[in-house]
Structure 1
Amino acid sequence: MQYHNKPYDKLKVGDSAELTRICTEDDFFVFASNSGNHNPLHLSTEDGDGDSVNEAIAPAMFVGALISAVLGNILPGAGTLYKSQSFEFGTRANAGDELAARVTVVEMRASREVVLDTSVIRPRDNAVIVSGSAVVIAPEKEMSFSEIEVPGLVVQRHRHFDALLDRSRPLPPIPTAVVAPEEPNSLGGALLAARETIIKPILIGDPDKIAVAARDLDLTLQDVEIVPVHGHLDAANKAVDLVADGRAEALMKGHLHTDDLLRAALRRDRGLRAGRRFTHVFVMDVPGQPHPLLVTDAAINIEPDLETKIDITQNAIDLAISIGIGAPKVGVLSAVETVNPAIRSSIDAALLSKMAERGQIRGGLVDGPLAMDNAVSLAAARTKGIVSEVAGRADILVVPNLDAGNMLAKQLTYIAHAEAAGVVLGARVPIILNSRADDDKARLASCAVAALHAARMSGKI
């Protein structure tokens, strides 16, 4: 877009200009970050006035700042400087409202000063959000410029996990055997999920260590069941016993090695085998992405063969459906998007795609091989000439091996600022697999994912 300013000597009374903009929730988070105004009335995640409704009211000065966009871009345009601005606020705008900012020249003064009537209205009902008057110093020279490309902003909030938590809270708390929560991170995550009514924890481990961790967190263990067991493998076996006895409907990893937990789950006598291989799924909330992104397998199967990848893919589809993705799109990744006999992952991807077409993998759309770019970017897929319902739109990324999956998940976490929930599938119950580096949101989301999956698989939702 080309912008042309109006210098002082070409302005006249009655000149007018307008810009429209749709307010978004992210606009208000950016404003809060830049201005330091963290009034919860303006943030969609908060109830700012205690009425149990999250208002997301547009900050008054955000609305007022829309006027400056007209002054700086159109009338008078480039080179304009403010002298003063008055505001009178009539009503309030909310996220999702379209707003029109208007300015009209009402007086020309000496020294290039110009007085303008200013207002912001909501066109759908002509409500005046703000009115007032601006005095500016108009530019001296006529100028034209193309629309300036400013750096894009990605708001680092995790709306997809917020939605998962909202869906899981109305469910009955899922009885969860928490294995060896003997340090603050693992214990704190379980107790936080209990306070959010997502799980009902049964703590299994050394009671003295659990008590010390609770004191470190300044939390009480009142009304929380503790099963005293010394030794991590024994604790893991006891947790599996609770599942076998029908007392627990999920497992949660505490402060023990994953191998110890899975060894107990895979035991032949009263173990948790359910006919498929155990596979791991990261459910990732990547800021700026329109949907959650599932990455599998990044934690258990090191060099999966085709048979294992079938289970990896099917487990991920089942989980995606459980968290609300109706027809999951699965991109099977390789280094290339064409079948190359020298690259085994490209052959496996093509076979998985064909197996899905023939109904051997059910519930989702599967395509591959796809390279990472054309799995998640429509532009990249179109550039490569790929015609596919999955390319550029993948909900699930099936990686060639654990190395690739682990690197991808950690790149998304530490470079793209994603949050990651980790769950093991293929067992009789979901296994919540948290990392020591996970924060509270990731731990909560892992519990929510497990609760939603367990509820769907048991027919509760």
Structure 2
Amino acid sequence: MTAASLIENRTFDEIAVGETASLTRTLTVDDIQLFAAVSGDVNPAHLDPAYAETDMFHRVIAHGMWGAGLISAILGTELPGPGAIYLGQSLRFTRPVGLGDVITASVTVTEKRPEHHVVRLDCRCVNQAGETVISGEAEVKAPTEKISRPRMPLPVVRIVSHDRFRRLAERATTDTPLPTAVVHPCSADAMSAAVEAAEAGFILPILIGPIAKMEAAAKEAGVDTAGFRTIDVPHSHAAAAEAVARVRAGEAALLMKGSLHTDELMAAVVATDTGLRTERRISHAYLMDVPGYPRPLVITDAAINIEPTLEDKADILRNAIDLAHVIGIERPKVAILAAVETVNPRMRTTLDAAALCKMADRGQIAGALLDGPLALDNAISEAAAKEKGIVSPVAGRADILLVPDLEAGNMVAKQLTFLGGADAAGVVLGARVPIVLTSRADSLRTRLASCALAVLLARAATKAAPGIGGAA
């Protein structure tokens, strides 16, 4: 084992007055969030600019404690190092420490007391401008025996904050919630989802279903629906048909799935004479907030089209591109997924990818940058794409993943959700109005994000023609 891989202490006899040790670190967002998670300190002064200046006292202390941790690290690993016993410390936080500040922490031995092998050290943290942000003293009992220990690797810590969904919800909140036909909310989960979205200011629910079952669901959920319009129908099939009729009549700007199967709702939506079809193929998209991925990720289609044709895929892409534009991605990068990144005549998915890219070149699919076929690793990892020699403005930076079929999309989305800690807001596109799809397994944040996304899509549709999902 090399000396660099070991931590070795300084014994009491080896330590000299005036001896010093230091380390330098930069304060990052992850550092602050980790501190908040470990300490349980949820004061918004940590990160929210609206509170940072008004609660300067808290920010000085909280971020200063991060600096104090640097001092502790020096005492535990360098001077004196392993075997030292912390006896006490007094610190003064003299200046705030902000994001991006480069802090150098140092300790200097000022006194040795042989009776109990006590060492006193001056402690100081200085920012990149040379200003002292922390000053004080520490007292430790120094080791008397030499100790060498392996330098342990730091654990890999992933910060999961889902700020993108919070910002999405902020954009969707207005004084005029959209009237929304909530289809068969006859379970506690479905009723809670509708009420939560109403309380967030996104929707004005129109509850459609058997009145007795809806009242029982509201009671079980512990929510008050007295202020909502209610339409009594005998069963879920009738609820789906009635909800679609209310949209066609202009009474509702959104559809929201309750406790009925997706196929049952979609049968009413796609009905030839009475449904909500447009010139576009109806499709589903997940907007995902994936920890560690630097941008929102749209995955389509994971719920509607089982084995889409080339023509279907073109419409699925157009719907997803519209969605990306609504959330602020001006020219989304689309990765058309396959198992390989080369065109293989025996693999229809790769042929479809090549055809879609050529359609984009000819202007048949507009508003995005397409590339494919790309395997998933090459679509989302620049390192993987570079390793395979793939030169592409999309590879490693995809905003939209077009999956080969429903099974692949469902698996990718659920793997990211349940193994990768991602949040997924689901919405159906290509109909006259956006359709909110939520699941009993969804978190409150996911349910609200799905509603917020649908609201933004509906508002965008009223400002542009042909609108979200194509002309009616």
- State how far apart, in whole Å, the 2-side matches of 1:170 and 1:257 are: 31
Query: Once structures 1 and 2 are overlaid, which stretch shifts more, 350-359 or 308-317?
Result: 350-359
- State how far apart, in whole Å, the 1-side matches of 2:325 and 2:24 are: 39
Any idea what the Cα deviations from partners look like across 1:67-119, whole Å, max 9, x if unmatched? 12233444445665433222233344355544332322222343654321112
**2:31 counterpart of 1:27:** yes
Match of residue 120, structure 2, among 108, 111, 115: 115
Contact 1:286-1:419 within 8 A present in 2 as well = yes
* CA distance 1:171–1:396, change in 2 (3 Å): farther
RMSD: 2.9
Give identity over the alignment, percent.
Answer: 48
- State how far apart, in whole Å, the 1-side matches of 2:129 and 2:445 are: 38
- State how far apart, in whole Å, the 1-side matches of 2:30 and 2:174 are: 27
Partner of 2:251: 247
TM-score by length of 1: 0.90
* CA distance 1:183–1:329, change in 2 (3 Å): same
**2:22 counterpart of 1:38:** no
3-state SS in 1 of match to 2:198? helix
**2:418 counterpart of 1:414:** yes
User: 1:348, CA displacement in angstroms?
Assistant: 1.2
Partner of 1:69: 73
Query: Once structures 1 and 2 are overlaid, which stretch shifts more, 301-310 or 208-217?
Result: 208-217
3-state SS in 2 of match to 1:120? strand
Taking the TM superposition and a 5 Å limit, the aligned residue runs for 1:165-184 are 165-170=169-174, 172-184=176-188
Contact 2:334-2:401 within 8 A present in 1 as well = yes
Query: Once structures 1 and 2 are overlaid, which stretch shifts more, 154-163 or 69-78?
Result: 69-78
- State how far apart, in whole Å, the 2-side matches of 1:172 and 1:337 are: 47
* CA distance 1:333–1:123, change in 2 (3 Å): same
Partner of 2:380: 376
3-state SS in 2 of match to 1:388? coil
- State how far apart, in whole Å, the 2-side matches of 1:359 and 1:106 are: 74
Any idea what the Cα deviations from partners look like across 1:260-302, whole Å, max 9, x if unmatched? 2111111222421111111100111112222221111111111
Contact 1:302-1:402 within 8 A present in 2 as well = yes
User: 1:176, CA displacement in angstroms?
Assistant: 1.1
Contact 2:189-2:221 within 8 A present in 1 as well = no
**2:363 counterpart of 1:351:** no
Q: Which amino acid aligns with 2:245?
A: D
Partner of 1:126: 131
- State how far apart, in whole Å, the 1-side matches of 2:82 and 2:354 are: 55
* CA distance 1:44–1:216, change in 2 (3 Å): farther
3-state SS in 2 of match to 1:176? strand
* CA distance 1:94–1:188, change in 2 (3 Å): farther
Contact 2:124-2:132 within 8 A present in 1 as well = no
- State how far apart, in whole Å, the 2-side matches of 1:78 and 1:329 are: 51
* CA distance 1:340–1:113, change in 2 (3 Å): farther
User: 1:329, CA displacement in angstroms?
Assistant: 1.0
Any idea what the Cα deviations from partners look like across 1:177-219, whole Å, max 9, x if unmatched? 1111111111111111111111121111112211112112222
- State how far apart, in whole Å, the 2-side matches of 1:275 and 1:360 are: 15
Q: Which amino acid aligns with 2:184?
A: A
**2:295 counterpart of 1:281:** no
* CA distance 1:176–1:371, change in 2 (3 Å): same
User: 1:223, CA displacement in angstroms?
Assistant: 1.9
**2:455 counterpart of 1:451:** yes
User: 1:52, CA displacement in angstroms?
Assistant: 11
- State how far apart, in whole Å, the 2-side matches of 1:231 and 1:47 are: 49
Partner of 2:194: 190
Contact 2:338-2:376 within 8 A present in 1 as well = yes
Q: Which amino acid aligns with 1:381?
A: A
Query: Once structures 1 and 2 are overlaid, which stretch shifts more, 384-393 or 166-175?
Result: 166-175
- State how far apart, in whole Å, the 1-side matches of 2:100 and 2:209 are: 50
Contact 1:25-1:56 within 8 A present in 2 as well = no
* CA distance 1:346–1:79, change in 2 (3 Å): farther
Taking the TM superposition and a 5 Å limit, the aligned residue runs for 1:2-401 are 2=4, 7-8=10-11, 11-35=15-39, 37-41=40-44, 44=47, 58=62, 60-77=64-81, 80-110=84-114, 113-124=118-129, 126=131, 128=133, 130-138=134-142, 141=146, 148-170=152-174, 172-401=176-405
TM-score by length of 2: 0.88
**2:465 counterpart of 1:442:** no
* CA distance 1:76–1:360, change in 2 (3 Å): farther
- State how far apart, in whole Å, the 1-side matches of 2:267 and 2:243 are: 12
Give the number of aligned pairs. Answer: 456
* CA distance 1:33–1:52, change in 2 (3 Å): closer
Any idea what the Cα deviations from partners look like across 1:418-448, whole Å, max 9, x if unmatched? 1111101011111111112112111000001
Contact 1:2-1:144 within 8 A present in 2 as well = no
- State how far apart, in whole Å, the 2-side matches of 1:306 and 1:112 are: 78
Contact 2:101-2:128 within 8 A present in 1 as well = no
User: 1:315, CA displacement in angstroms?
Assistant: 0.9
- State how far apart, in whole Å, the 2-side matches of 1:338 and 1:330 are: 16
User: 1:141, CA displacement in angstroms?
Assistant: 4.0
User: 1:24, CA displacement in angstroms?
Assistant: 3.4
User: 1:20, CA displacement in angstroms?
Assistant: 3.1
3-state SS in 2 of match to 1:19? strand
Any idea what the Cα deviations from partners look like across 1:24-71, whole Å, max 9, x if unmatched? 343333234334x3343465479989x899x87735533321212233
Gaps of 5+ in 1: none
3-state SS in 2 of match to 1:87? strand
